[in-house]
Structure 1
């Protein structure tokens, strides 16, 4: 494949003979304004069928050298595009109209092509820079997506600093395979692997002796990106839109475009945020009395001792709220950003530096991120344009010790059984006492242990556009895109021997080193043929390749020398290594036809193969097709009530490749009488394993009324996943315990409704709003193996189970009648959001985002742990039919009824709200504007859920979401903001 790339690239450069340069014999000037005659800053003025373009300055003015009889295309985000013929004059006053319904927004239709939304056959969600980051900045990029993507179900793996988000688009797309979307940044496929730090060694969250676990709650690597650098995000939610991106796009595609330089005067932006971080919610602690303290034990002697301990502590004023002491801290946050944009007609540059430092709500936790970005675009001539995007990221996250735990050592689990009269504070010499109520002293653990993730990352992409042929009706381009994503990740975990739970191991140091390199390229030819103003054909085709090389080495040392963390300073050392590689290749062809700017037809096919498939040489075929019919452009509806109305339908297929190594029966190392040897693994390979196939059909209606001030988007989709992958138990007679196979089919059906509106539009007040509604229902339509629980803790407490004829995300459990039945579903009944921006006098801006999730259940074991430990704040309330304390009643249900542990996770959350004022009339000319503001993130949540966060998902980014086991609590943020434009 590499030789093919070299050959193709060389051949293309040999045959590229630039077309004669267009004669540059006149200069045009002008100004771009909006309806109130205010300048439109950053509007793009481009020469049609050329790489030549410029943007308007702070006064909306522009100056551009163009050939005779050139056609200018003027566009700006949020405005309708205008086309201008330059034959008559060289000075233009362009007044743009607002595009509330986003009809002129350009969105992706292929790997190398795009189209205006008014002619689009798919529902594609977009998030602008203002919607992403300009209301109330989140800690990480992935957290900034929460509540903003219609059709998405998003959970936080942990509230710990450094992020960790699970994103599912249009329902469950796989059970054991990849469920997350593909992230593409300026053409580079970005890795989003979550790497375990090996905490399972001390927590035993997985009781099978495993070293790594998806319950370690590691961060997602997409969190490394900085939202300040992003210009726009497009979300391709289903196969009908994402098919051309290949096997890594089975869970959808998130296309991220970063900011580019703009020709003209250099623009410098400097901003500073200072903020405070608090826990969103504390559960509270049980109000103890001497009698309640005595009831913590059934042994009479122990009860008497507990009564005395409580009385002594109370008399000394040593009753503590340990939850507040651990989680009630205020983290200080600061974020500094410097961005520079500028350039000439031929070369533009965007450069940014960003520094972030945030403390956590738990002591000795926090997050730091440093990012440097340089984007350069150069127009060699009217026919050749190149672009380079580079980003260096260094991040460090101290994440603490939280989550599921079978050893009783994590902070939350230990806290759950520690009463308020326990004496956990250090003495004058800093020595912590043992916690007699738990396996660890949580104050000691927080003070002395370390769990750090540090990353050095380089993401570099390149784009090349060459016009190979051009005449009055046809233009042919070569477009090459690609790049690499490389990072070194180090996880450093240290448990000193002085910790209470390290009495046996005498100190544990876990040092992890991960190196990952991902590469990809797309080489394509695109021909635009326009024989008349009533017909346009865009033909594209090309080849793609993606590679991945992931290497994780984990060293676990015990009996470490006091004060040391190096693994060689220990009495025992164990090492594990995981290496995975893949090579995916594809060929694609696509044709798009536009008839009288009213009917758009799209058809394409992709041929994919992967080294993970059973047959590595076989190309699997994945077609796509779409049609949109704009009734107003067709002339069927002329003017009047509807400004625009469009019918659309799309079909497509995509795939998800099998897990790495699933086709092989591997050999594992064994010690045989002191000599190394090999034995056959207990997991059987499947030589003929094939990829999951996803088939989606969607249809919809888009229309706008009231001169475009009110727009609607209605979408229905049906998505089928065939041959989904499972790791199933093998019969004992086979000699193996597990085996990979293509186990069945499942289906997702859903509805997405969107509205964009401008309810108020006057000289002094403008109100823009959007409202979205989405819902999804899944169904397992075929399952060839017996149903077994998937994730969680079995039917006693509630568990997922794949079962034919049932929802893929159902939660089953003991129902109180001696049987097992459905107690809930992780999938919500529906979700809604609304984003609003109200601007007063073009100076004062109020922005806010509300998110409502209705329905859906979590398996909540945080409350159960508190009941077990006798610390639940409502322990002694009596609201049940038996007349016993509520916590006692809940504990009595264990083994007979799991309803108490499967709880509704509905909520209404004010995710973001910000108030900003912009000063433009300043005493100095070199400062264009100053903006000051205050914002709040996740500050108000209305929910009946009985734990820290209804969005929790302690079991990682895979299939099992909505599991709650004493996580790092979610946080809320207040920020003060100031920025300067020079």
Structure 2
């Protein structure tokens, strides 16, 4: 009998699973007893309709979203009983209304939602599929609306995040049309790895790698450039190891969760938008305009001869245009809703012969199966192409050529069609007219999600995500250039495929009258496959632009697969809905490490206390401080991506020996005992709402300790190898973050809001064997004990005791010389004549890490007109300007012009060329990051809901003391440790954009 019951039970489970799959695949709807129609209007505390409010029947999958009039309509098949209708919107306090459904099938419910300036009632995702009210969290989590990203004027999602919240530094490393972006949440958390956060789109762990398929470091794109900002609903950003404990050690640098738009039940809503943008060079750098040149290369001869000088900048830069077009349709009926979009973008660069073009589409279908089960399927595809030119400090290019050239030669072709030699690099017009550097990218991101609520308080979510990105780069350098006399061609492919499978569950349970328990458990499995292939050739046949015509060919191929796995258990207790205590544990593993070190344990604990909900608070401070929350969090995380797939092995390189295949011993010795880097972070914070919630303040202090840094250690020559990766070195980060939001004026017709952010971080690296090692900028950027990551370590000026420059007998500056003491500190020395003697000395001469970053945003609304202005500030950082160095020594720069005028001694520039301190510049700036104005026409025509006209400006001016184009760009692109180097980079353009958006 027992066996029969078990068989019958097993049969019922199989039958249930099969039925569930049928419903998921075909969208069948299980009908309840009655078809109810719920509707109403939502207004704010000023009586204005609120767009985009999520209206949901609590503990079910039935919901709707308010339209432009603040109205909603929700149809659902339900049993006749009591339900709770929940109204949620970012920036407004959540509202819950109890309904009793009976014989009346049409129910009208109107609500008023008040301002929630701190967003404490906002529901955020703190683990894949785990919903939590922000007021319960002990760690910081910030939300940025998709509209703010779409209206930023940026073609890239990450660039649009700049200045939107505290503790995030966004740097556009190049002014190319799809130039790479660096994002740091708080600070660097590793030395040789990446400090970029983990990106998740609709539950899919996505690739945002910097693809270098052109073999040009500074011409690199992030793969989030594949995503259209107009498809974004909102972005949630989690900082700190405590929060990342829910996402695994891959999230040690924080998490950026991107949620795309979804449909809603009702008639189809069509949105059309089109814009045109105008790009221009924000400023030109000073160059030599003196109509004379030296008659002799001997610096003691001051005779001059007349010459004609050319402005090469005008020849390589141009004003350009771009267009961005977008269409979407959203709607639904009964238990099915959908969203689909398509977009086309084309943007020309300010450097001639550069552009970026992207087509993209998105489809999402949400299906309610019954009152406890729903499913969602979505896919996104994009294809993009870019025309590029080599540039940057490690490569030739038109901008490096300008740096290395005396601008007295006309670069235009001669009568025979030949390009004149300007220097040892190709002619600047030769690049533009004949070089072909381009890349193509294809991307598909898809997901399937199942959401179950099989019992009161129990929620189960499953997500299967897939991300496939392929980048193909091709280069062609014609025959006869100065750099590659015989010509060259290459093709490189990088294919990156990610799959993630995540199952999460949470259970809410009331314990008595005042205690609520929330238990969450989940597991994740992820796979990443990378395929890199390249073929390059030199010595091209005449008329051939591919490797088929090359006399010498080399190939390269790399294949790797890495898997990550993990699981977590989290428990939260809420006391009277004002005190919340959370504890969590997580186990994580990665295949890149040895079996005994693969699985790591990471704990977490946090606390959130809404002190203002206590009775005593209202009587004591309630009239001034309306809300007050204290929070604290501690957690440990790791870095499972600190090494690549095969870094723990000793890898022999293939080679040819006397015509036979063989292998060559590597200089990097393997280490099977490697383990992940480990982070421990503690943060405290307070959130306050003041003066009837007119002012909101968020303050956070954190301290992060990183141990077991994965660094290369120099080995004894007797080992037969040069270096080995080991777990050595430590790093600390200490920082403070502040976010202040205020609404000084808020009436029915006029409102004014202000948002300000301020962040500071102190980074320090220690326990590096050998005191320091170079990490970029031709070795000038170093990781050095007791200093922030990436400080500049090189030669400096010899000075007198009063601090003035110690000059040579000819009046020229010179580098300091002497010796080093037992601690490695430089000790200047002087000869009998008082001049420097001994070896060249070096010291820390600059720091690319800012003292603080800040932003200030003002928004004004008068009836249907709105205006927004955002200023971003980065202060206290240094720039290593190779541009300035080259202009010291080559005749096209302002240094030579100064010597020709007699303002400086001839030879001063050449002397400064050898002293690194001379080209350290202040990198501080205040930028007008965004300025926009818009006007909304409501129902201008029959069948048209509204038309919005907008005018946006981006990067229109910068207040700085930098002699070059732009202090924001970086020669080493998205490199983690090497920051602040500038040499021959495309500056970030100023952009003016006019757009029209219509909704039907």
Q: Please, what TM-score do these two structures have when normalized by structure 2?
A: 0.89
**Residues in 2 aligned to 1:494 and 1:834: alpha-carbon distance in whole angstroms:** 45
Match of 1:855 among 876, 879, 882: 876
- RMSD (Å), alpha carbons: 2.5
Distance 1:610 1:12, change over 3 A: farther
CA contact (8 A) 2:214 2:439 kept: no
Q: In structure 2, what is the equivalent of residue 466 of structure 1?
A: 452
Q: How big is the shift at 1:161?
A: 1.8
CA contact (8 A) 1:642 1:703 kept: yes
1:945 paired to 2:962: yes
SS in 2 for 1:768: strand
Q: How big is the shift at 1:323?
A: 1.1
Q: How big is the shift at 1:584?
A: 0.7
1:71 paired to 2:81: no
Which range moves more in the overlay, 902-911 or 613-622?
613-622
**Residues in 1 aligned to 2:528 and 2:165: alpha-carbon distance in whole angstroms:** 28
Q: In structure 1, what is the equivalent of residue 472 of structure 2?
A: 490
**Residues in 2 aligned to 1:396 and 1:533: alpha-carbon distance in whole angstroms:** 60
Q: In structure 2, what is the equivalent of residue 920 of structure 1?
A: 938
What does 1:183-582 align with in structure 2 at a 5 Å threshold?
183-199=199-215, 215-290=217-292, 292-294=293-295, 307=305, 310=307, 314=308, 319-327=309-317, 329-405=318-394, 409-427=396-414, 431-470=417-456, 475-503=457-485, 506-532=486-512, 534-582=514-562
Q: In structure 1, what is the equivalent of residue 141 of structure 2?
A: 124
Distance 1:769 1:888, change over 3 A: farther
What does 1:958-973 align with in structure 2 at a 5 Å threshold?
958-973=976-991
**Residues in 1 aligned to 2:214 and 2:345: alpha-carbon distance in whole angstroms:** 27
CA contact (8 A) 2:290 2:897 kept: no
SS in 2 for 1:81: strand
Q: How big is the shift at 1:535?
A: 2.2
Q: In structure 2, what is the equivalent of residue 87 of structure 1?
A: 100
Q: How big is the shift at 1:140?
A: 2.2
Match of 2:948 among 893, 915, 931: 931
Distance 1:784 1:365, change over 3 A: same
Distance 1:48 1:191, change over 3 A: same
CA contact (8 A) 2:500 2:524 kept: yes
**Residues in 2 aligned to 1:890 and 1:714: alpha-carbon distance in whole angstroms:** 47
**Residues in 2 aligned to 1:244 and 1:508: alpha-carbon distance in whole angstroms:** 49
CA contact (8 A) 2:41 2:111 kept: yes
**Residues in 1 aligned to 2:906 and 2:362: alpha-carbon distance in whole angstroms:** 54
Q: How big is the shift at 1:129?
A: 1.4
Q: How big is the shift at 1:878?
A: 7.1
**Residues in 1 aligned to 2:858 and 2:334: alpha-carbon distance in whole angstroms:** 36
CA contact (8 A) 2:598 2:675 kept: no
Q: How big is the shift at 1:119?
A: 2.7
Q: How big is the shift at 1:325?
A: 1.4
What does 1:781-930 align with in structure 2 at a 5 Å threshold?
781-794=766-779, 799-816=780-797, 817-818=816-817, 819=826, 820-841=842-863, 843-877=864-898, 885=904, 888-895=907-914, 897-922=915-940, 924-930=941-947
CA contact (8 A) 1:282 1:324 kept: no
Match of 2:177 among 141, 146, 161: 161
Deviations 1:517-568 (A, max 9, x none): 1111111222111245522211111210111111111110112223322322
Q: How big is the shift at 1:579?
A: 2.2
**Residues in 2 aligned to 1:28 and 1:153: alpha-carbon distance in whole angstroms:** 44
**Residues in 2 aligned to 1:25 and 1:149: alpha-carbon distance in whole angstroms:** 44
Q: How big is the shift at 1:785?
A: 4.2
**Residues in 2 aligned to 1:82 and 1:625: alpha-carbon distance in whole angstroms:** 29
**Residues in 2 aligned to 1:271 and 1:866: alpha-carbon distance in whole angstroms:** 45
Deviations 1:823-844 (A, max 9, x none): 2211111111122221001x00
| Structure 1 alignment gaps of length 5 or more | 1-8, 201-214
Match of 2:600 among 590, 612, 620: 620
Distance 1:320 1:785, change over 3 A: closer
Deviations 1:884-913 (A, max 9, x none): 638943431344x43222221100001000
SS in 2 for 1:464: strand
**Residues in 2 aligned to 1:145 and 1:78: alpha-carbon distance in whole angstroms:** 18
CA contact (8 A) 2:528 2:562 kept: yes
Q: In structure 1, what is the equivalent of residue 806 of structure 2?
A: none
Q: How big is the shift at 1:436?
A: 4.1
Q: How big is the shift at 1:133?
A: 1.9
**Residues in 2 aligned to 1:936 and 1:375: alpha-carbon distance in whole angstroms:** 32
CA contact (8 A) 1:490 1:514 kept: yes
SS in 2 for 1:877: helix
CA contact (8 A) 1:286 1:875 kept: yes
**Residues in 1 aligned to 2:390 and 2:219: alpha-carbon distance in whole angstroms:** 10
Deviations 1:743-767 (A, max 9, x none): 1111000000111111111122111
What does 1:768-787 align with in structure 2 at a 5 Å threshold?
768-787=753-772
SS in 1 for 2:984: coil
1:106 paired to 2:103: no
Q: How big is the shift at 1:26?
A: 4.4
Q: How big is the shift at 1:656?
A: 0.8
**Residues in 1 aligned to 2:344 and 2:214: alpha-carbon distance in whole angstroms:** 29
| Structure 2 alignment gaps of length 5 or more | 1-12, 24-28, 798-815, 818-825, 827-841
Deviations 1:235-284 (A, max 9, x none): 11211111221122122111101111122221111111111111122103
